[in-house]
Amino acid sequence: MRVTLGKWKVLLGALLLLAVLWIPAGAGQSKYAGVTLKVMLPKGFTESEPVYDILVEAGKILGTDVKVSWYSMDELHDKTLIDFTAGNKAWDILLVHSPSRGKWADMGVIEPLGKYIAEHPNVVDKAKLALDDYFDISIRNYTHKGVWLGPPLYVTGVALFYRTDLFNHPEEKKNFRAKYGYDLKEPATYKEFRDIAEFFTRKKGETLAGSVLAADFYGTSHSNKPVGFLWHDFINYLMAFGADDVYDPKSMRPTINSPQAIEAGKFYVELAKFQPPGHLNYTSGESTAVFAQGSVAMIVEYFLRVADMGMNPAKSKVADKIAFTVLPSVPGVKGREHAAHHGGNVLSLYGLSPNKEAAYKTIELAFSREIMRKVYLEKYVPYGWIPPRPSILNDPEVQKRVPWMKPALAKLMQRKDIFYFELSPLPEYFSAIDSAGSALHKALSGSTTVEKGFGEAQKEAEAVFKKAGYIK
Amino acid sequence: MANSTHSGSTSFLRNPTLLFLLPMVLYLILWRALPLLYTVFLSLNDWNLVRRPSPTFAGLENYARLLSDTRFHDSLWISFFFMVVATGIQTVLGTGLALATDRGFRGKSFVQGSLLFPMFLTPVAVGSIWYILFQPSIGPINHLMGLVGLPSVIWLGSASTALWAIIIADTWQWTPFIYLLVLSALQGIPETVVEAAQIDGASGYVIIRRMILPLISGTILVAALLRAMEAFRVFPKIYVMTGGGPGRATEASSILIYKTAFRFFEMGYSSAMTIIMLVLLMTAYGFYLRVVRKVSVEY
Amino acid sequence: MEARRSSVHVAAMGLMIVVALVWTLSPLYYLFLTSVKSIRTIMERPPRFFVWPSFESYQHILFKEQFYQFFVNSFVIAFGATLLALVIGGTAAFAFSHWTFRGKEPLFLASLVGRMFPPITTLIPIYLMVKFLNLLDTHIALILIYASFQVPLVLLILRDFFSQVPREISESAYIDGSSPWQVFLLIILPLAKSGIVAAGILCFVEAWNEFIFALVLTSFRAKTAPVVLATYIENEGALQWGVLAALGVWTVMPTLLFMLFLRKFLIKGLTLGALKG
């Protein structure tokens, strides 16, 4: 009898002890533990893998089960749209393509993080959110109609990359000066860019930097596949030449065939002869790969991609011969210096998600300085990612392991005179660039002129804008 | 006695015709007819996913718009052209190959099996592999052409060749379809009949032309019809290889409909396009089947 | 058809076959080649035709992506849809080939309508139906839907094959007192075997390769191979051809094996020939 009671006492005591120990430890996570978060991420974007890793890492700590289904960006776009239209609550977190994010925020397909934060202030952990530890340009770029959409996934937008072995070669320098009358250097204007592209476009059998070419070489390469890729490459020129991105936001009128736009278009078409013939169908991955192959002298592309494909010796044949700088300008066009596309794929809450709080907390933790830094240093340094937090990028450990980080920051993120811009959130935008982009593509392949093509595209866009009620 | 007619006079459960037809009819009504009706309904509505959360009735407005929409007319023409040319080439090649390989020779099963391979690849994979093959600077096709002195062609980047490049890829993938069907039909022709004709002294070509072709003509036409229906709806290949470009040179109707629905968010308008496409095709196929009836051999 | 023919004739046939084989197999070879190229050599100029194989793409899909589960899904769905379509389409094809009845022509044409418009246009209503039936992300949903696409195909093919069976055979069976079901199952089906196999193969392939509905109606449990394949067609941020090619190679494998297994049904001279003679 006594023994049995004693046993029970011990058991009870042990249980109580366990309870005392377990509850506090579990209290922090028990709220979200066991919640399954369904995430859609796009394959093939350099930022997807790091985002996946930080989400999973945060999920481990919070006890949420982060399940990811991978799709191509197009698939993701279509699937989300259909799911949303039919009222399917099956997702929690999405990585949204920059052209869609404004529309989707308006439609309710995604719930901007800013909105969620404003409506649920007690859930927010300000230290983890650390909004002050983002670059100004990031916050600005990720705000739509005054509401913050979500955390930036990486930084630096597009930059100009070039081959140092060519630019520094004494023979080439001498010949360049003789031909164009000024020294070969990083192009400050688009005219210089054009000259350099022309100079380095050579046929098989000619000499380049002291050796004979085994195949044709090109001055530059763009991703000109219609319509999205083409437009995203062209848009840097459009902005630099002082034109609007398809329409004038003040009057809401399309300005596809404005004089500046036509000038930009003509300049762009002129560059076609300095590019590999496949450019008419290149995606940005292909274009970057051609540069990494060593067939191209200069390229304008997202820093993250060139870092991953071009500066990584495991993937590139010219890894140690690359340098970068800001994009050129068009002299005389004020306010558009070094115009560069910044990029804005964003991670957001799915509008119909049933687990918004758990999802939000997971995102918040994932993007916290600690988790981001940990994952970056463990898996992605030096070529795989550029986390968007200045504190991480300025961290001495990071700068030691990523030698180009400091110059990248100085040249691209800390200068105040770069015109970084973002895409229009207008729903009719895609229709407009479909018209303008097809016209530009036709001009590039020689079947129409820029004036004619843009003129027709202007009419088409005006019809669409009229129907949408923006203009009479 | 072979049952020749069944009207509604026999009791429902005892009527074999109905029993045989019913599963299909019910099934198709549920999964094809009803959704189609919904599409018709949508075509009479104005529903832009972004600007309106639900459809609003608009009568025949979409159809009126389509009458003057040259982009749509162009796309119909491209789909039609693609359908006729691709199906024609594939039918000729497929039938020819079936006739050529329907004989005993060493390695026959290897050959027959190999020739069927391309059909099994996902259209997306086919589009991708031909995309790579057609690449102007790094693709093997231009490289090999260069080796024999032919000039480089910008297959997918030039409006005059892009559609043909896609036809080539489509032919590669789908000739086996025709090949399979015609081959199966050839298997059904008894040896004895052919041998009898040969003993009578008929030459190979006469046998083929006068005897075999008529016997399998029904199958050939069926195969061609099936292929044509599929070719008109072609989508993943074009999407992967050119996205509808260059310009709009390869923008077949299916691509335009997809873009209208998923990029421009016009659900009502894209439904109207679908219905027009359907009506045009139905008349074409109805006509075609009437012709088939006359040509094929009836038992 | 063994027959004496001139050696020129034989040579011409042989040449045609060789050309056809080269035409068919070289893109497949290039697909395989791409799958074993390392990322540094994929964009090379001039393109290489032989490389020291690198299996990084295959490793990626096996270990990182664990794609085999999607292949199993694809197989189950394609098989189920094929069976269902053959049953439903086959019974109807029998009716069309054996009897005449009021409304035969229009019904036939109406049945084909389902294959005349791009499937994507009925995406939303079908999605709503599946959602209503609570079958999202299940194999059953895709089996049901794919079968509905295939039924017209089966109908068209089998009607043709069934009508090739001589009338006398079925008529004599009826005289002997057989019911239509017996005629169908015991006489017509065996005689039209090659047609059924052909139709089955085509259904299977189509169901296996279908993409849009699989994309929209599945997310985790029932995701199929083509959806995974399409994930890699984009080359926006990176070049994914190696992985795409590896997946492509794998997509062909199981269907090829399946088809090789069935090929003995395509061998000539089974039953029908003997009967007709």
- Segment B260-272, tens digit of pLDDT: 887 788 888 888 9
Task: Give phi and psi for C5, each to the nearest 5.
Answer: -150, 160
| CA–CA dist A15, A4 (Å, integer) | 16
Query: At which residue do the structure tokens 């023919």 appear?
Result: C5
The larger pLDDT score, comparing residue A255 to residue B217, is at: A255
Q: What is the mean pLDDT of residues A197-205?
A: 92
The larger pLDDT score, comparing residue B296 to residue A277, is at: A277
Q: Where are the beta strands (DSSP E) in chain B?
A: 45-46, 56-57
- Here the tokens at position C126 are 């079908």
CB contacts of B21 in chain C (<8 Å) are 91-92, 95, 107
* Closest listed residue to residue A279, CA positions, set A290, A263, A265, A266: A290
Cβ-based interface (< 8 Å): residues of C facing A: 39-40, 42-46, 65, 123-124, 127-128, 131, 136-137, 215-216, 219-220, 223, 227-228, 230-240
Whether B91 and B208 map to the same domain: the answer is yes
Cβ of A229 and C234 within 8 Å?
no
- Here the tokens at position A299 are 């390229």
CB atoms within 10 A of CB B295: 11
Whether B148 and B34 map to the same domain: the answer is no
Per residue in A45-57, pLDDT (tens digit) is 888 999 999 999 9
CB contacts of C153 in chain B (<8 Å) are 226
Cβ of B257 and C116 within 8 Å?
no
Cβ of A88 and C233 within 8 Å?
no
pLDDT of residue A40 exceeding 90: yes
Q: Which residue of C has its CA nearest to B198?
A: C3
For residues A244 and A255, the answer to whether their CB atoms sit within 8 Å is yes
Q: Which residue of B has its CA nearest to C230?
A: B124
Helices (H), chain C: 7-35, 39-42, 56-59, 68-98, 104-112, 123-132, 139-162, 167-175, 180-182, 189-191, 193-209, 212-217, 225-230, 241-262, 272-276
Q: Is B238 an 8 Å CB contact of chain C?
A: no
Which residue among A43, A75, A216 places its CB closest to the CB of C215? A75
User: Which of B3, B9, B12, B28 has the highest number of chain C CBs within 10 A, making it the mutation to test binding with C?
Assistant: B28
Cβ of B20 and C95 within 8 Å?
yes
**What is the model's pLDDT at position A1?**
44
**What is the model's pLDDT at position C113?**
79
For residues A186 and A298, the answer to whether their CB atoms sit within 8 Å is no
Cβ of A75 and C227 within 8 Å?
yes
Whether B28 and B125 map to the same domain: the answer is no
Confidence bin at A10 (pLDDT 50/70/90):
low
Confidence bin at A26 (pLDDT 50/70/90):
very low
Q: Is residue B2 part of a domain?
A: no
Q: Is residue B52 part of a domain?
A: no
Helices (H), A88-200: 98-107, 113-119, 126-129, 136-141, 164-167, 170-180, 190-200
DSSP codes, B177-230: HHHHHHHHHHHTS-HHHHHHHHHTT--HHHIIIIIIHHHHHHHHHHHHHHHHHH
Which of A14-28, B160-174, B199-213 tops mean pLDDT?
Answer: B160-174
For residues C38 and C245, the answer to whether their CB atoms sit within 8 Å is no
CB contacts of C49 in chain B (<8 Å) are 140
Residue A206 in 3-state DSSP? coil
Cβ of B246 and A280 within 8 Å?
yes
Q: Which residue of A has its CA nearest to B261?
A: A78
pLDDT of residue C4 exceeding 60: no
Rg (CA), chain B: 24
The larger pLDDT score, comparing residue B39 to residue A39, is at: A39
Which residue among A107, A227, A278 places its CB closest to the CB of B157? A278
- Average pLDDT of the residues of chain A: 87
β-bridge partners, A94: A40, A348
Whether B23 and B155 map to the same domain: the answer is no
Per residue in A320-351, pLDDT (tens digit) is 899 999 999 999 888 888 988 887 889 999 99
Say what percent of chain A tops pLDDT 70. 94
Cβ of A285 and C43 within 8 Å?
no
| CA–CA dist A42, A25 (Å, integer) | 35
Query: At which residue do the structure tokens 């100085």 appear?
Result: A410
CB contacts of A285 in chain B (<8 Å) are none
pLDDT of residue A5 exceeding 80: no
For residues B216 and C147, the answer to whether their CB atoms sit within 8 Å is no
| CA–CA dist C41, C35 (Å, integer) | 11
Residues contacting C136, CB < 8 A, separation 6+:
A88, A90, C130, C217, C218, C219
Whether B36 and B162 map to the same domain: the answer is no
Q: What is the mean pLDDT of residues C60-72?
A: 77
Q: Is residue B242 part of a domain?
A: yes
Whether B119 and B157 map to the same domain: the answer is yes
- Here the tokens at position C77 are 């769905």
**What is the model's pLDDT at position A278?**
81
Whether B126 and B194 map to the same domain: the answer is yes
Q: Is residue B9 part of a domain?
A: no
pLDDT of residue C275 exceeding 70: no
Cβ of A276 and B156 within 8 Å?
no
Residue positions counted in chain C? 277
Question: Does the predicted interface ipTM exceed a cut of 0.90?
Answer: no
Whether B244 and B152 map to the same domain: the answer is yes
Cβ of A278 and B135 within 8 Å?
yes
Per residue in C25-53, pLDDT (tens digit) is 888 888 888 888 877 777 676 677 777 77
How many domains, chain B? 2
Q: Is residue B8 part of a domain?
A: no
Q: Which residue of C has its CA nearest to B273?
A: C121
Task: Give phi and psi for C47, each to the nearest 5.
Answer: -70, 145
| CA–CA dist B275, B257 (Å, integer) | 11
Whether B25 and B78 map to the same domain: the answer is no
CB atoms within 10 A of CB C153: 22
**What is the model's pLDDT at position B112?**
79
pLDDT of residue B227 exceeding 50: yes
Q: What is the mean pLDDT of residues A282-304?
A: 89
Query: At which residue do the structure tokens 């380049």 appear?
Result: A208
**What is the model's pLDDT at position C259?**
65
Q: What is the mean pLDDT of residues C55-70?
A: 77
Residue A325 in 3-state DSSP? strand
Whether B103 and B196 map to the same domain: the answer is yes
Which residue segment(s) compose the domain that B27 sits in? 16-43
Cβ of B247 and A438 within 8 Å?
yes
For residues A200 and A192, the answer to whether their CB atoms sit within 8 Å is no
Confidence bin at A27 (pLDDT 50/70/90):
very low
**What is the model's pLDDT at position B1?**
37
Which of A30-39, A140-149, A160-169, C56-65 tops mean pLDDT?
Answer: A160-169
pLDDT of residue B79 exceeding 50: yes
Q: Could you tell me the CA-to-CA distances from A48 to A42, A385, B73 in Å, in that order?
A: 6, 10, 40
Per residue in C75-126, pLDDT (tens digit) is 899 999 999 999 999 989 888 888 888 888 888 888 887 777 777 778 878 8
Residues contacting B194, CB < 8 A, separation 6+:
B207, B211, B212, C1
- Here the tokens at position B242 are 């050119």
Per residue in A417-470, pLDDT (tens digit) is 888 887 777 778 888 888 899 899 989 988 889 999 999 999 999 988 888 888
| CA of B159 vs chain C CAs: smallest distance (Å) | 22
pLDDT of residue B204 exceeding 70: no
pLDDT of residue A190 exceeding 80: yes
| CA–CA dist A345, A302 (Å, integer) | 12
Whether B36 and B125 map to the same domain: the answer is no
Task: Give phi and psi for B49, each to the nearest 5.
Answer: -55, -30
The larger pLDDT score, comparing residue A116 to residue C258, is at: A116
Inter-chain contacts counted by CB atoms under 8 A, chains A and B = 82
C68-219+253-276 domain in CATH 1.10.3720.10?
yes
For residues A218 and A275, the answer to whether their CB atoms sit within 8 Å is yes
Residue B295 in 3-state DSSP? helix
Q: Which residue of B has its CA nearest to A276?
A: B137
Rg (CA), chain C: 23
**What is the model's pLDDT at position A209?**
87
pLDDT of residue C265 exceeding 60: no
Confidence bin at A194 (pLDDT 50/70/90):
very high
| CA–CA dist A443, A452 (Å, integer) | 9
**What is the model's pLDDT at position B12?**
45
Residue A151 in 3-state DSSP? coil
pLDDT of residue B9 exceeding 50: no
Query: At which residue do the structure tokens 């840097």 appear?
Result: A236
Buried b (16+ CB within 10 A) or exposed e, B56-95: eebeeebbeebeebeebebbbebbbebbebbbebbbebbb
Per residue in A58-103, pLDDT (tens digit) is 999 998 999 999 888 888 888 898 888 888 888 999 999 888 888 8
Q: Which residue type does C53 have?
A: P
Q: Is B50 an 8 Å CB contact of chain A?
A: yes
Looking up residue B280, the CATH number of its domain turns out to be 1.10.3720.10
Residue A124 in 3-state DSSP? coil
**What is the model's pLDDT at position B3?**
44
Q: Which chains touch A (3 or more CB pairs under 8 A)?
A: B, C
**What is the model's pLDDT at position C5?**
55
**What is the model's pLDDT at position A13?**
59
pTM of the model: 0.81
Q: Is A280 an 8 Å CB contact of chain B?
A: yes
Q: What angle do CA C214, C220, C222 make, to 5 degrees?
A: 45
Residue A93 in 3-state DSSP? strand
CB contacts of A77 in chain C (<8 Å) are none
Q: Is C134 an 8 Å CB contact of chain B?
A: no
Confidence bin at B299 (pLDDT 50/70/90):
very low
For residues A265 and A282, the answer to whether their CB atoms sit within 8 Å is no
Task: Give phi and psi for A94, each to the nearest 5.
Answer: -135, 150
- Here the tokens at position A364 are 């918040």
Residues contacting A220, CB < 8 A, separation 6+:
A193, A197, A271, A274, A275, A296, A297, A298, A299, A300
Q: What is the mean pLDDT of residues B103-122?
A: 77
